[in-house]
């Protein structure tokens, strides 16, 4: 995908060929909460005789942002805690300890490094602003001899394999997709070996509860389309069920625009978002399904959606902090409103649009919304109410179980006319409701039935 005469100055590369050392490596987990197909964990094990894992719950997760929303509200927090409990158990099957703390990363990581004579820290490569700031603060506070090694660990198509120049990433999704599919192979999954039992350390830490973090305990709404728990074990169980037990993968393309129930879509996105499962694990399982069961448009379409996920990650690398700016990556100068009453009505499901309202109530009550619903409520927010799209994106960030910074802001820009949609379309929410909820079943599910 690079012209022969292009320089390599912007090529996305990250390699580490360090030989194994009789030292201790620390894996600083982020959105890669798994042991299967984890390149960060794999590299640490290759380079060190001893490996410890840690996850730092930053108090900043629960502070309000400029728009008045917590970065991580109760649904995402619960899913994270479930994922951490599972990760701790999964790591012990490999004789690796996980230390979990609620603290500022720059403070706690220095204490860990001093206490366990850490030689190197390994983490998933991130490039968005807040994550970069956090890493810089940590590095400044560490002893100068401690190196932080970052590894791309969240892509289907690995950046090193694409051999792409950042500035040349196509503006239109289909252009990137066709090149990836034609020229780039998907890497095999990374296997994680089991370490010697003496790798387990004596220190144990307690993963906090919701109440420890200032939240009330809640019961999941019985009507939720996502009744699942966090963690790699749950993700792999869902994959087995959706692919090989129910064989719903074979009809995915026909059902993916559904609104009610657990099986209209794969529901992998929350586990993908916090890294409890990798895109490659899903991809190779699709290929396995195609060999064992059927290969059709539905099996391809799930991979197609994983490529969309990659696409927004590459767009965020290309444009950096512009994905958070009001003009988006197109630097559009629209007039946006920040009317608080209109915003709150949208959040509460009290707009003039019953389809939007039903979707927003589902989100408020469960932390989940269908892909079809998201496109409609976001378009209504930005194109009908003409509200500052960043406020809607910030609300989604706070409450969505499957919040992913690149997909969230990429999709919000897309539907708001400041991103990658070449047609700059506006959803007709009532026509959408007639098409996808013709019998009002979804709206009746979340709205007062007396309205109909």
Tell me the C-alpha distance between 264 and 252, whole Å: 7
Q: What is the pLDDT of residues 22-31, one digit of tens each?
A: 899 999 999 9
Average pLDDT of every residue of the chain: 94
Tell me the C-alpha distance between 357 and 25, whole Å: 49
Q: What does the block give as tokens for 15?
A: 């390699």
Q: What 3-state DSSP class applies to 122?
A: strand
Q: What is the pLDDT of residues 372-428, one digit of tens each?
A: 999 999 999 999 999 999 999 999 999 999 999 999 999 999 999 999 887 778 999
102-120: average pLDDT = 97
Tell me the C-alpha distance between 343 and 416, whole Å: 15
Using alpha carbons only, what angle is made at residue 61 by residues 265 and 343, rounded to the nearest 5 degrees? 65
CATH class of 325-451: mainly alpha
144-150: average pLDDT = 96
**Domain at 154-188+225-321: CATH architecture:** Alpha Horseshoe (1.25)
Where are the domains positioned within the chain? 21-153, 154-188+225-321, 325-451
Backbone angles phi, psi at 173, to 5 degrees: -55, -50
Closest-CA residue to 102 (of 122, 81, 82): 81
**Domain at 21-153: CATH architecture:** 3-Layer(aba) Sandwich (3.40)
Asked whether 111 and 16 are in contact (CB, 8 A), the reply is: no
Tell me the C-alpha distance between 272 and 255, whole Å: 20
Q: Burial code of 343-379, b = ≥16 C-beta within 10 A, e = fewer?
A: bebbbebebebbbbbbbbbbbbbbbbbbbbbbbbbbb
pLDDT at residue 161 tops 90: yes
Q: Do domains 21-153 and 325-451 have the same CATH topology?
A: no
Asked whether 46 and 127 are in contact (CB, 8 A), the reply is: no
């Amino acid at each position: 995908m690079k012209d022969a005469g292009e320089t390599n100055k912007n090529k996305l590369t990250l390699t580490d060929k360090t030989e194994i050392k009789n030292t201790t490596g620390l894996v600083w987990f982020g959105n890669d909460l798994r042991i299967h197909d984890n390149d960060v964990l794999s590299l640490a094990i290759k380079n060190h005789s001893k490996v410890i894992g840690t996850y730092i719950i930053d108090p900043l997760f629960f502070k309000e942002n400029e728009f008045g929303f917590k970065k991580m509200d109760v649904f995402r927090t619960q899913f994270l805690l479930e994922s951490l409990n599972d990760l701790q158990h999964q790591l012990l099957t490999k004789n690796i300890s996980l230390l979990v703390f609620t603290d500022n990363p720059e403070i706690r990581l220095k204490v860990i490094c001093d206490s366990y004579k850490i030689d190197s820290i390994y983490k998933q490569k991130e490039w968005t602003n807040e994550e970069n700031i956090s890493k810089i603060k940590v590095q400044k506070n560490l002893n100068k001899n401690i190196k932080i090694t970052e590894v791309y660990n969240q892509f289907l198509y690995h950046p090193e394999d694409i051999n792409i120049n950042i500035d040349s990433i196509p503006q239109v999704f289909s252009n990137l997709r066709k090149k990836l599919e034609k020229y780039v192979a998907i890497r095999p999954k990374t296997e994680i070996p089991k370490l010697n039992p003496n790798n387990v350390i004596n220190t144990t830490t307690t993963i906090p509860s919701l109440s420890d973090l200032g939240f009330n305990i809640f019961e999941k709404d019985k009507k939720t389309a996502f009744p699942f728990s966090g963690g790699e074990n749950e993700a792999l169980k869902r994959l087995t069920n959706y692919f090989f037990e129910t064989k719903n993968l074979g009809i995915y393309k026909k059902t993916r625009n559904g609104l009610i129930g657990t099986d209209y879509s794969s529901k992998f996105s929350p586990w993908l978002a916090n890294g409890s499962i990798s895109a490659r694990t899903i991809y190779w399982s699709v290929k396995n399904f195609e060999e064992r069961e059927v290969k059709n448009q539905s099996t391809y379409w799930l991979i197609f959606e994983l490529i969309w996920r990659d696409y927004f990650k590459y767009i965020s690398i290309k444009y950096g902090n512009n994905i958070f700016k009001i003009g988006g990556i197109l630097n559009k100068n629209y007039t946006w409103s920040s009317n608080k009453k209109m915003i709150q009505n949208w959040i509460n499901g009290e707009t003039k649009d019953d389809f939007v309202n039903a979707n927003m109530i589902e989100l408020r009550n469960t932390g989940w919304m269908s892909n079809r619903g998201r496109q409609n409520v976001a378009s209504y927010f930005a194109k009908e109410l003409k509200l500052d799209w960043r406020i809607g994106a910030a609300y989604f960030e706070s409450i969505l179980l499957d919040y992913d910074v690149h997909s969230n802001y990429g999709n919000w820009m897309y539907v708001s006319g400041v991103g990658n949609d070449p047609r700059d379309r506006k959803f007709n929410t009532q026509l959408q409701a007639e098409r996808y909820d013709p019998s009002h079943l979804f709206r009746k599910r979340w709205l007062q039935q007396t309205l109909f």
